[in-house]
């Protein structure tokens, strides 16, 4: 019995050591692929990483390892979330239950090494939309970084485009629908043109707006000046105006990056700086 306990202790110690050094812990989170990476020490602020319309768990991939490791070296814990087309998650970006995504964040925050009062979300493209939605619905999210974000909800990625990309407690969130004017752009795979045509439906746009003023902490948006996917600059400015109109009490900033949709992903230095100044301290 003593020998068995000794081996158990060695195994537990090895597991904790591996976790500290940046290896993933797979969390048992329904409908979400949740992988937690820990840094050293107690009271680690938690960064939640959300990928975009490519699906899968982008932030758990080798491609983003260097950036993820930079967060860990700075003392953050990092939660990589795959919310569709990933292990245990839905196959399609359609009616994604944002409360289930939040449940995965809550589960990660129960780790004794994490400061549950310091949770920030970093999302890119559709993941930025999800990050903003999560921040607007849940008060435990204390900072949101949206990279090439949308200011409103849009359709899910189905053949019919007749449902919302997002839902909450089983109910679809209002979204800007595909209209007749946007169809030719979609057929030409001109996504920016399609978005701009859809946003001419100003009634639907108003109903689908993300209530960014409800976010319980600072907000950073990065857009692209030559965004070929969506008018991220215009949509970011609309969110800045909404925050200003609502006398948002926290820091909010929009950084416009010269280049296409993916260009802001090369500017994590500005994200690290914003987090250090407005979230970490």
Residue 215 has φ and ψ, to the nearest 5°, of -65, 135
With respect to residue 74, please indicate whether it lies within any of the assigned structural domains. Answer: yes
Q: Is residue 21 scored above 50 in pLDDT?
A: no
Looking at residues 151-172, what average pLDDT do you find?
Answer: 96
Residue 21 lies in a domain: no
Let me know if residue 3 belongs to a domain: no
Whether 261 and 223 have beta carbons less than 8 Å apart is answered as: no
Q: Which one, of 219, 239, 279, lies nearest residue 47 by Cα?
A: 279
Confirm whether 5 is domain-assigned.
no
* Contact call for residues 256 and 233 (beta carbons, < 8 A): yes
Residue 206 lies in a domain: yes
Residue 265 domain flag: yes
What is the number of structural domains in the chain? 1
Tens digits of residue pLDDT in 75-113: 999 999 999 999 999 999 999 999 999 999 999 999 999
13 lies in some domain: no
Does 271 have pLDDT greater than 90?
A: yes
Helices (H), the chain: 2-20, 65-73, 98-109, 126-137, 183-187, 191-198, 202-208, 232-245, 268-275
Angle value at C-alpha 52, between 235 and 78, nearest 5 degrees:
110
- Residue 16: band (very low, low, confident or very high) from pLDDT cuts 50, 70, 90: very low
For the domain that residue 69 is a member of, what is the CATH number?
3.40.50.1820
pLDDT in tens, 244-253: 999 999 999 9
Residue ranges making up the domain that contains 66: 26-280
Helix (H, G, I), strand (E, B) or coil at 184: helix
Cα separation of 226 and 224, whole Å? 6
């Amino acid at each position: 019995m003593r020998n068995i306990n000794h081996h158990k202790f060695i195994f537990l110690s090895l597991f904790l050591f591996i976790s500290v050094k940046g290896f993933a812990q797979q969390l048992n989170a329904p409908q979400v692929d949740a992988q937690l990476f820990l840094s050293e020490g107690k009271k680690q602020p938690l960064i939640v990483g959300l990928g975009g319309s490519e699906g899968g768990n982008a932030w758990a991939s080798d491609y983003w390892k260097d950036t993820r490791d930079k967060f860990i070296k700075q003392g953050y814990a990092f939660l990589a979330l795959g919310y569709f087309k990933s292990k245990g998650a839905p196959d399609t970006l359609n009616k994604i239950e944002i409360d289930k995504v939040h449940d995965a964040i809550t589960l990660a925050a129960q780790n004794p090494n994490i400061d549950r009062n310091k949770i920030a979300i970093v999302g890119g493209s559709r993941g930025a939309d999800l990050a903003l939605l999560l921040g607007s619905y849940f008060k435990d999210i204390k900072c949101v970084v949206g990279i090439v974000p949308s200011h409103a909800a849009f359709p899910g990625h189905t053949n019919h485009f007749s449902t919302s990309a997002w839902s909450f407690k089983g109910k679809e969130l209002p979204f800007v629908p595909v209209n007749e004017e946007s169809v030719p752009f979609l057929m030409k795979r001109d996504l920016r043109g399609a978005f701009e045509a859809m946003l001419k439906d100003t009634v639907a746009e108003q109903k689908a707006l993300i209530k960014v003023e409800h976010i319980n902490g600072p907000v950073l948006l990065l857009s692209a000046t030559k965004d070929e996917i969506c008018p991220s600059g215009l949509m970011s400015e609309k969110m800045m105006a909404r925050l200003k109109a609502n006398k948002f009490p926290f820091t909010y900033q929009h950084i416009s990056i010269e280049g296409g949709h993916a260009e802001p992903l090369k500017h994590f230095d500005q994200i690290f700086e914003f987090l250090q100044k407005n979230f970490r301290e």
